[in-house]
Chain A
């Protein structure tokens, strides 16, 4: 018995499935990009500020002892932290007392307000983009610590987080699609059998009673049996005429 496929009936179902999935993916992605970006940025800035404050607190005695070698040693240890790209410490008069720049202090930083502790974003030619925070040493009377965090690294972290989500969505999409096709085929099988049976009967074949669709106990089976019954009644009426 040739199998007939029921495509048209489920076309809308499949369209609806993909449309709904796309909507979920887009809305969740937008939400997660916004959330992850905001949360990571906040965490980044918070960490930077904590580190800057930590250095500022540790620097008081060192600065009062005018021990700049130890001060440099201190910031050299902090700059080994992955996301920190530069640190510089300025005196209360704005003089650069210690820093981690090679081959020199960028002009943009030389020109900036050394006593400012505000969070600023900097783009330094040849170095990259940074978010810089400041922390006062002894309320600013002994100087200011500035810590620059790598924005590219932050971007990379956001990309990684979003990428992981996208990968998860992709896997769910592939599995969902396969399951949908399988389920639609499974659900349409009785209808396909019924359609094939009806086509054969319309072609003048008489039902033998062996057709599998006649033994089904679902709606397709009842419809098939009803077709047989109607067909037989129609055949009896023809003979009486």
Chain B
């Protein structure tokens, strides 16, 4: 089926949700039908950054890559409760690519993103990955969102290893794309969840909060963070004080009373949340309402601005539910204009203000998505775009997939402008290592300077 503008609407859901798979349907359909699943909805338009997203409407989604462009394949959450993550990551990257393409691209080629929506669900992500590699013939995969999705896509990369398609800078800090047997198929920029959770645990323990509980999404992402907390606590001779879980895709309107009550029984000193903004926001809200007045930490994947918006919207006291929040970040504050990359980011976001992918508007009809002028997620998308451009630039006038790995390994002590130099190598497949901690002040997250003053 084609939309009015000629783009495909395969699996297009008017309410913007990716339908839940029933167990029966999964058994019946099997893997083969999963690959052809209709909910692997294509967002259709191959964005033409130089001309802006709106100009992409009406383009044929399946057109082959042109000689003067390099196509990056993206499968991410553009619908469902985590759509803010895929959308903001995309917007940050688009701001950079728009600017780049307006100025002639890289070595004379424009960089184009081919977007597919997976709704933050593993099976559509697998189908999308195969489509991007087999049908769309993308140069590389870029800006994937989420651990459960990436974890399932990695075996696809291994299966088609002869095509030498690498996954660049997924928006997840999980270990599977950092370790054997799949680590060799991905390059990461951000710090890992292990580093984020270790930093949170170390700081909590330092201020005397040793009984740490975990609230997590019950999937590969949550487990990855849970494992990080467990490992970090073990170094301090502690174990996880209590744990509660939620199902992926839980909305902000859901009650987290059961989870809060489980943790209340364990009397923790702090809770580390490994989840997405809707569910973690619901937990933070119910924790305060039910008297769990202890620090509630979130890792970078949560999408801080999206969560803050949910917690403050429509409240007479906007900070009634944000007093105890502390979020770790893997990029510096977008308020820190002493950093060159932050200045560039703010400038390009202001100039281009990339809209959400155009088909998202249709998918989420009735649920308008409100973009953020700046956010940690879009800043991460921006630095991802900046680094991938540098890698492609180093590949010369005729970039080939076979030369990607060599070009990445040539990145040594590269100044990305974020206050930390980036290096890659055969044994170093993660560019940045630093973790930042932020708390809510007014209507935004700001750097946390003094843990003791804040939480002791």
Contact = CB atoms under 8 A, between A and B. Distances in A.
Given A68-B227, A73-B148, A104-B245, 12 more contacts: A66-B227, A69-B151, A69-B174, A69-B221, A72-B223, A73-B176, A73-B220, A81-B26, A82-B27, A84-B23, A103-B256, A103-B259
Contacts of B24: 82
Interface in B1-47: 21, 23-24, 26-27
Contacts of A147: none
A69, A70, A84, A98, most chain B CB atoms within 10 A: A69
Nearest to A83: B23
B226 A103 contact: no
B22 to A, nearest CB: 8
A100 interface: yes
Contacts of A182: none
Interface string A62-104: 0001111111110010001110100000000000001111111
Interface of A: 65-73, 76, 80-82, 84, 98-105
A102 B219 contact: no
21 contacts: A65-B179, A68-B224, A69-B176, A69-B221, A69-B224, A69-B227, A70-B151, A71-B223, A72-B224, A73-B148, A73-B151, A73-B176, A73-B220, A76-B148, A80-B21, A81-B23, A100-B218, A102-B218, A102-B247, A103-B246, A104-B259
Given A69-B151, A69-B227, A82-B23, A101 B220 contact: no
B450 to A, nearest CB: 33
Contacts of A76: 122, 148, 219-220
Nearest to B221: A69
A101 B219 contact: no
B368 interface: no
Contacts of B147: 69
Q: Could you say which interface size class chain B belongs to?
A: 20 to 34
Contacts of A68: 223-224, 226-227
B246 A69 contact: no
A147 to B, nearest CB: 14
A102 B245 CA distance: 5
Contacts of A99: 218
A72 B222 CA distance: 9
B180 interface: yes
Interface in B235-249: 243-247
A166 B226 CA distance: 51
Contacts of A101: 218, 245
Given A68-B226, A69-B176, A103-B245, A80 B221 contact: no
A99 B219 CA distance: 9
Nearest to A98: B223
* Majority secondary structure, A binding face: loop
A105 B245 CA distance: 9
A13 to B, nearest CB: 49
A8 to B, nearest CB: 57
B278 to A, nearest CB: 15
B410 to A, nearest CB: 29
Contacts of B122: 73, 76
Contact of B176 (A67, A80, A84, A102): A67
Contacts of B174: 69
Most buried by A among B21, B24, B151: B151
B175 A67 contact: yes
A81 B29 CA distance: 12
Contacts of B179: 65, 67
Contacts of B245: 101-104
A104 B122 CA distance: 23
A69 B27 contact: no
B290 interface: no
Given A71-B223, A80-B26, A103 B180 contact: no
B262 interface: yes
Interface string B429-456: 0000000000000000000000000000
B374 to A, nearest CB: 30
B393 interface: no
B31 to A, nearest CB: 10
Contacts of A65: 179-180
A183 B447 CA distance: 94
Question: Which 3 residue pairs of A and B lie closest in terms of their CB atoms, listed nearest first?
Answer: A72-B223, A69-B224, A73-B220
B64 interface: no
Given A65-B180, A68-B224, A70-B176, A102 B23 contact: no
Interface in B165-195: 174-176, 179-180
Contacts of B227: 66, 68-69
B152 interface: yes
Contact of A73 (B152, B180, B262): B152
Contacts of B26: 80-81
B236 to A, nearest CB: 17
A80 B175 CA distance: 24
A82 B24 CA distance: 6
Contacts of A82: 23-24, 27
A76 B26 CA distance: 12
A100 B223 CA distance: 10
B419 interface: no
Contacts of B151: 69-70, 73
B258 interface: yes
Nearest to B26: A80
A69 B223 contact: yes
A139 to B, nearest CB: 24
Contacts of B176: 67, 69-70, 73
Contacts of B243: 104-105
A214 to B, nearest CB: 70
A124 to B, nearest CB: 14
B354 to A, nearest CB: 31
Contacts of B258: 103-104
Contacts of A84: 23
